[in-house]
A and B are shown apart, each in its own frame.
Chain A
């Protein structure tokens, strides 16, 4: 139990039209990369909304390192070390790279010393942050932008990072760079929970895999098992070409 970064227990949640999550159980190991795959509309993004507090679970519980965060506000959950890299482009294109990242550090703005330390940490981890510090974010390529988006969440030194389709819209070369960064992020104990449509990429990146279907977890297993699971292949990967 102490090894669990995040646990969702029998979570029900939905919007106006009914319950999208229907009794979802999910366990994310500390320091792991866990990848959720599943059909479009299975409720993957909704899981993220519940974890980050944007959507309240109407039943069940959400535990962060054993403590319930179910009734916390999004801001409080952020303070507890859960950050998210959103699905669509979310940088401020007119602001410089550095300004964008400092915006991510809004929570710690009153502690300039800490902010400086964190900035140095992020720069070391993602060199492009230093190289392109003063360029407008809008001038970066897609892959570079994704790196800056990740950098922006790292400045809060999160323990759990949620990533919604990090490979979306990226060219193959950029996908390789971003993948490598994601792997590197967990080296110092961070946990990454990601959503991927590209199952093979997702399972290559992850330690643990989760297959969702119709608002529930269908399979939960080590990533390499899922990639080779014939059931997953038939229901999800489509027929082999």
Chain B
């Protein structure tokens, strides 16, 4: 069934390309239709390129046509200087646009904020100003005029038609490649949850700059061709904000974040644009029609036409499907094998010596406004231990986690991991070094399947790793084995948001094992999980610990903590109140007073 649908989609794609290729051959007199299709291709190319940055990585650019202008002017200036047609410089136009995107991105994408949207508009407008005023280079507002190729009289638009078509094919191929690669998974993870992406080894700054460059590439390529096609370019036409708005609209109408949505949307907007010119004439009618399209899209098909139709079809097909239920009793009983090499890295230089520290925190302070969340914590986590971190709600446990993993920078103090001072390091570097953590409220990538979530972590940051297909190679096998070990195999293809809270917690635990962590930091792993699975979870923790993985666990389930941990730190108001063995902590008067509660109301209630 599944494979059948897949081939069906492929058939439609082949048919689509075949028709486009054959149109000029079968209809040689179709100059008008071809010129209309060229505009379709242009919009589809731009919407697809925009989709890489804004659809996949989630950083919305409203001034993306600046790269089209850069491509146009690169081709035009080189063409003028050398006396050749501008489209020969298309590859150089592409490289220029990418270099420009790299420069801009390196500056603007360092931070994460909505400011980026505004900055993209500002860039478009300021580049337009520069081009208008740098008369020696660009001809200023008079623009540049090119002579037509001699074949233009006989062949008309057809050669251009094929040039644009080639660029469109290349662009779709590029987006397809990215979406299948781990790089694309990285982009989507940034869109879904940027701080989580950083914590599983994704260098978010680098990824965003790459996304920006790749999304600019098709613009530069097509720009150099487009300028020759127009025959005349000027700054206001080349750096028009209206084009930027149209291409965003195209991607939204079709469905951003998908492969074919922006292509479809590009065609749709190009036709709507033409229709408004032909039937009602004038700029104001066009703006009105585009406005109506935007309102309609946002209100009725917020995910885009293609996506909405696909969802409708899928719902119809899913009507008779049965839901997989997890047989938890069976899971708890079963002892799925786990190849420890798949979840642990090769022992580092200094082999597990239980007296040695794996993680040291020294004099750590962190406050938010007037609240001192972490108030001078010093602790030492021994290699190969299971250490518990308990304390009342609001005592700073999660903030301490965030400072250790680099989600927050500490105000002062140092963190040493595996003998290296990591205080100033980025979260992804810490993940590459072997630090994995889960979150109290699970942070999974909501738009991805369970398996996609598992292959998203980037254990080693190499170019080869980033470009590899995410669904091939040993990563996927490892992911499947870990899922099986956790008893989640039957959910492999489910979207994570369809899972219950407890199941999501297990998926997140499985996810960080993909980093082959030396230390696993779990933030309330058992809350919201039913007792059978808690047992399974603690078995898994023990098994991994036996193999040398260190654990640091925040948890309120006291019997679990007491049963599992070798050593416990009790945090209260940002400070370590008591440290000791489970026995010492359980009987400590201060702990009972501040945390466990003086009354015996819940004595024996915890499972």
Contacts and interface: CB of A to CB of B under 8 A. Distances in A.
Contact of A214 (B325, B392, B498): B325
Nearest to B506: A40
A197 interface: yes
B149 interface: no
Given A16-B314, A175-B602, A237-B607, A197 B530 contact: yes
A27 B605 CA distance: 26
8 contacts: A15-B498, A18-B323, A139-B371, A171-B391, A176-B601, A200-B607, A201-B607, A236-B531
Measured as residues with beta carbon below 8 angstroms from the partner, the interface class of chain A is 35 or more
Contacts of B601: 176, 179-180
A96 to B, nearest CB: 16
Given A15-B498, A17-B323, A176-B597, A40 B529 contact: yes
B502 A40 contact: yes
A31 interface: no
Interface string A132-172: 00000001111100000000000000000000010011111
B606 A198 contact: yes
A233 B314 CA distance: 40
A33 to B, nearest CB: 15
A39 interface: yes
Nearest to A201: B605
Contact of A40 (B320, B328, B494, B599): B328
A154 B320 CA distance: 40
B528 A172 contact: no
A57 to B, nearest CB: 15
Contacts of A37: 530
A236 B532 contact: yes
B503 A40 contact: yes
A215 interface: yes
B534 interface: yes
Contact of A238 (B332, B502, B503, B605): B332
Contacts of A141: 392-394
B590 to A, nearest CB: 13
A80 to B, nearest CB: 27
B374 to A, nearest CB: 16
B326 A40 contact: yes
Contacts of A45: 500-501
Interface of B: 311, 314-315, 318, 320-323, 325-326, 328-329, 332, 371, 390-394, 440-441, 494, 498-503, 524, 527-535, 556, 558-559, 563, 595-597, 599, 601-602, 604-607
Given A18-B323, A241-B563, A41 B318 contact: no
A237 B503 CA distance: 17
Interface of A: 14-20, 22, 37-42, 44-45, 87-89, 139-143, 165, 168-176, 179-180, 197-201, 204, 213-215, 234-239, 241
Nearest to A19: B323
A18 B314 CA distance: 11
Contacts of A175: 556, 602
Contact of A42 (B325, B441, B524): B325
The 6 A-B pairs with the shortest beta carbon distances in the complex, nearest first, are A142-B393, A40-B502, A173-B597, A214-B325, A18-B321, A141-B394
Nearest to A234: B329
A20 B329 contact: no
A165 B602 CA distance: 16
Contacts of B494: 17
A22 B595 CA distance: 42
Contacts of B332: 238
B607 A172 contact: no
Given A39-B328, A199-B607, A236-B530, A172 B535 contact: no
B560 to A, nearest CB: 10
A38 B322 contact: no
Given A169-B393, A199-B607, A18 B325 contact: no
Contacts of A215: 323, 325
A172 B393 contact: no
B394 A169 contact: no
B contacts with A: majority SS:
loop
A193 to B, nearest CB: 18
Nearest to A40: B502
Contacts of A40: 326, 328, 500-503, 528-530, 533
Contacts of B528: 40, 87, 165, 168, 197
Contacts of B599: 176
B607 A169 contact: no
Nearest to B524: A169
A172 B326 contact: no
B595 A238 contact: no
A38 B371 contact: no
Given A16-B315, A141-B393, A169-B527, A197 B595 contact: no
Contacts of A198: 531, 605-607
Contacts of B501: 40, 45, 87, 165
B329 to A, nearest CB: 5
A72 B318 CA distance: 25
Given A19-B323, A40-B503, 13 more contacts: A22-B323, A41-B503, A142-B394, A165-B501, A168-B528, A172-B558, A172-B606, A176-B602, A180-B601, A197-B502, A236-B532, A237-B532, A238-B332
A42 B325 CA distance: 7
A142 B395 CA distance: 10
B325 A238 contact: no
Contacts of B323: 14, 17-20, 22, 215
Contacts of B604: 200
Contacts of B393: 141-143, 169-171, 174
Contacts of A170: 393, 556
A201 B321 CA distance: 36
Nearest to A22: B323
A224 B482 CA distance: 38
Contact of A41 (B390, B500, B563, B602): B500
Nearest to A216: B325
A215 B604 CA distance: 30
A198 B606 CA distance: 7
A82 B393 CA distance: 29
A169 B392 CA distance: 10
A25 to B, nearest CB: 18
A211 to B, nearest CB: 11
A237 B597 CA distance: 25
Nearest to B320: A18
A172 B329 contact: no
A112 to B, nearest CB: 34
Given A14-B323, A18-B321, A40-B501, A168 B527 contact: yes
A124 to B, nearest CB: 23
A213 B501 CA distance: 16
B531 A171 contact: no
B325 A88 contact: no
A234 B328 CA distance: 11
Contacts of A241: 559, 563
Contacts of A176: 597, 599, 601-602
A234 B314 CA distance: 39
B529 A197 contact: yes
A236 B601 CA distance: 24
Contacts of A235: 329, 532
A18 B318 contact: yes
A175 B322 CA distance: 37
A175 B393 CA distance: 11
Contact of B440 (A15, A19, A169, A174): A169
A237 to B, nearest CB: 5
B602 A201 contact: yes
Contacts of A14: 323
